């Protein structure tokens, strides 16, 4: 059985790994000309995602590349003294296994674990998928696949082709985010320097192996802002406006906007689809159920989703009509829970009042000052959904390849149409 996956970031390579383990023949098409190595941001692997990475044998590499950010200096707008926070306590109160790693490092690790068994096609994109499995591309010749999976992120191309315009499924949660890469002039290593004001939060972090630093900006906006997604100067202007006067550090970071080699700006939206499978096509990770970038643990959700989808296909003997609904059922509660996590994290991280700003600082100080047990209990009491990812259980799926194994190779539509569908 031949499966085409669109997107080679996190969900795509993890899915490809497990599919090939179960004997499927996998092609991954990625729009970028190569794996992304610059820019990017830190992402969180919570317990189930750490467990899956361990099963894949890549955990030592993931841990080796961990950002090591374990301290936070939190400065409240208008307050004289910063609060020092032990971030490792906060992470361990959220999940008993946690690794923070740069997303680009993570995709490289998953890619390396799959590159020998998976056909990767860079610099291309799907333009059409017909119900009988013929897929057309921008560059490559048409080919036939048994199944197609969109792992192409929040602004998924596969979702648009199969389900329609993104606006039908995205729900704005009243906030924006920006990321910028800049020189690590403060020499931050293992530390997050965060400035928080009413409706706006900016944090800079660095790690020795990065050679530079990243700033994450989060700000609230009641209404959706007016800009084009390709109009970078306008996005920078909006960011400057939102953070004007927060702190001299933040002004210095904003000064780098004109020089930065990597800049990202987007609204924080949740995807809400009743179903993310149609016919022979399904979606995984942010493409299907992004709870909101930077606030909902979406990387862990993407990894769990990829693992479950591959497992359900194997369990159903590659009958997608049974496997896709089983995958959606297995993920439904996790997806709902992660949306709740995202909304509550956004509320905490971007406080709407001065009281909220103080609450964030005091809460973080208290949790970091307490021993692990009480800090976990406190976090559970104050944030219902805080331990969602810790409570996710993942099934074991059949360990050995099955008879539907095929060889991954380029094939003309004529040749490929004879491929067994299991």
Ligand X SMILES: Cc1cc2nc3c(=O)[nH]c(=O)nc-3n(C[C@H](O)[C@H](O)[C@H](O)COP(=O)(O)OP(=O)(O)OC[C@H]3O[C@@H](n4cnc5c(N)ncnc54)[C@H](O)[C@@H]3O)c2cc1C
Please identify, using beta-carbon distances, which residue of 58 and 294 lies nearer to ligand X: 294
Query: 192 vs 422, which CB is nearer to ligand X?
Result: 192
Which of 2, 5, 12, 129 touches ligand X by CB under 6 A?
12
Query: If binding is defined by CB under 6 A, does position 11 make contact with ligand X?
Result: yes
Number of residues that bind ligand X (CB under 6 A): 35
Q: Which of 302, 323, 364, 416 binds ligand X (CB under 6 A)?
A: 302
CB of 210 to ligand X, least distance (A): 15
Under 8 Å between Cβ of 102 and 67: yes
**Is there binding between residue 286 and ligand X (CB under 6 A)?**
yes
CB of 125 to ligand X, least distance (A): 4
DSSP codes joined into one string, 60-112 = HHHHHT-----EEEEEETT-SS-EEEEHHHHHHHH-SSEEEEEHHHHHHHHHH
Starting at the earlier edge strand, list the strands of the sheet with 170-182.
83-86, 71-76, 191-197, 200-206, 213-220, 170-182, 263-271
Residue 66 structure tokens: 């961990």
Q: Tell me which of 206, 285, 311, 406 binds ligand X, using CB under 6 A.
A: 285
* φ, ψ (nearest 5 deg) of residue 29: -110, 130
Q: What dihedral do alpha carbons 31, 34, 235, 178 form, nearest 10°?
A: 110
- What is the C-alpha separation between 165 and 59, in angstroms, rounded? 37
Element (H, E) at 326: helix 320-349
Q: Which stretch binds ligand X (CB under 6 A): 1-9, 51-59, 355-363, 413-421?
A: 1-9
Nearest CB to ligand X, comparing residues 242 and 404: 242
Choose one: 71-79, 270-278, 293-301, 379-387; the region binding ligand X (CB under 6 A).
293-301
When the beta carbons of 4 and 318 are compared against ligand X, the nearer one is: 4
Contact 136, 127 (CB under 8 A): yes
Q: Give the nearer residue to ligand X in terms of CB position, either 197 or 291.
A: 291
**Does 264 sit near ligand X (CB under 6 A)?**
yes
Q: Which stretch binds ligand X (CB under 6 A): 9-17, 114-122, 189-197, 220-228?
A: 9-17
Greatest alpha-carbon span in the chain: 71
Q: Give yes or no for residue 6 binding ligand X (CB under 6 A).
A: yes
| Cβ 405 to ligand X shortest distance, Å | 25
- For position 23 contacting ligand X by CB under 6 A, the verdict is no
Q: Candidates 108-116, 153-161, 250-258, 413-421 — which segment interacts with ligand X by CB under 6 A?
A: 153-161
Please say which residue, 302 or 419, places its beta carbon nearer to ligand X. 302
Backbone angles phi, psi at 183, to 5 degrees: -65, 145
Q: Give the orientation angle of helix 320-349 with respect to helix 298-315, to 10 degrees.
A: 170
> 97: number of CA atoms within 13 Å, CB side?
17
Q: Using CB under 6 A as the criterion, which residues of the chain lie in contact with ligand X when the complex forms?
A: 6-12, 29-32, 41-44, 103, 125, 151-154, 157, 177, 179, 264, 285-287, 293-294, 297-300, 302
């Amino acid at each position: 059985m031949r499966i085409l996956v669109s997107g080679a970031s996190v969900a795509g390579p993890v899915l490809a790994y497990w599919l090939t383990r179960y004997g499927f023949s996998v092609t991954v098409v990625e729009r970028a000309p190569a794996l992304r190595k610059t820019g990017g941001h830190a992402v969180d692997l919570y317990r189930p995602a750490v467990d899956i990475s361990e099963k894949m044998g890549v955990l030592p590499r993931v841990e080796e590349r961990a950002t090591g950010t374990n301290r936070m200096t939190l400065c409240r707008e208008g307050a004289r003294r910063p609060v020092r926070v032990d971030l490792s306590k906060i992470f361990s109160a959220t999940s008993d296994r946690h690794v923070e790693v740069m997303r680009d490092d993570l995709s490289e690790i998953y890619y390396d674990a799959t590159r020998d068994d998976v056909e990767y096609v860079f610099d291309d994109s799907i333009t059409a998928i017909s119900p009988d499995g013929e897929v057309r591309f921008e560059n490559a010749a048409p080919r036939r696949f048994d199944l197609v999976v969109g792992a192409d992120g929040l602004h998924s191309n596969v979702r648009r082709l199969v389900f329609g315009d993104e606006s039908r499924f995205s729900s704005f949660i009243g906030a924006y985010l920006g990321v910028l890469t800049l020189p690590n002039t403060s020499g931050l290593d293992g530390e997050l320097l965060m400035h928080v004001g009413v409706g706006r939060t900016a944090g800079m972090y660095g790690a020795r192996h990065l050679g530079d630093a990243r700033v994450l900006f989060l700000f609230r906006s009641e209404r959706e802002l007016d800009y084009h997604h390709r109009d970078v100067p306008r996005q920078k202007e909006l960011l400057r406006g939102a953070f004007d006067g927060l702190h001299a550090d933040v002004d210095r970071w904003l000064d780098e906007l004109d020089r930065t080699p990597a800049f990202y700006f987007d609204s924080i939206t949740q995807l809400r689809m009743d179903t993310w499978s149609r016919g022979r096509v399904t979606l995984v990770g942010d493409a299907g159920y992004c709870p909101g970038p930077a606030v909902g643990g979406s990387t862990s959700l993407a990894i769990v989703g990829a693992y479950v989808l591959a497992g359900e296909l194997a369990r159903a003997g590659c009958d997608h009509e049974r496997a896709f609904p089983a995958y959606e059922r297995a993920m439904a509660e996790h997806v709902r829970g992660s949306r709740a996590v995202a909304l509550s994290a956004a509320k905490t991280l971007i406080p709407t009042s001065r009281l909220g700003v103080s609450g964030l600082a005091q809460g973080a100080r208290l949790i970091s000052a307490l021993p692990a047990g009480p800090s976990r209990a406190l976090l559970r009491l104050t944030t219902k959904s805080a331990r969602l990812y810790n409570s996710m259980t993942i099934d074991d799926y059949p360990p050995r390849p099955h008879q539907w194994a095929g060889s991954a190779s380029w094939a003309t539509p004529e040749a490929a149409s004879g491929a067994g569908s299991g």
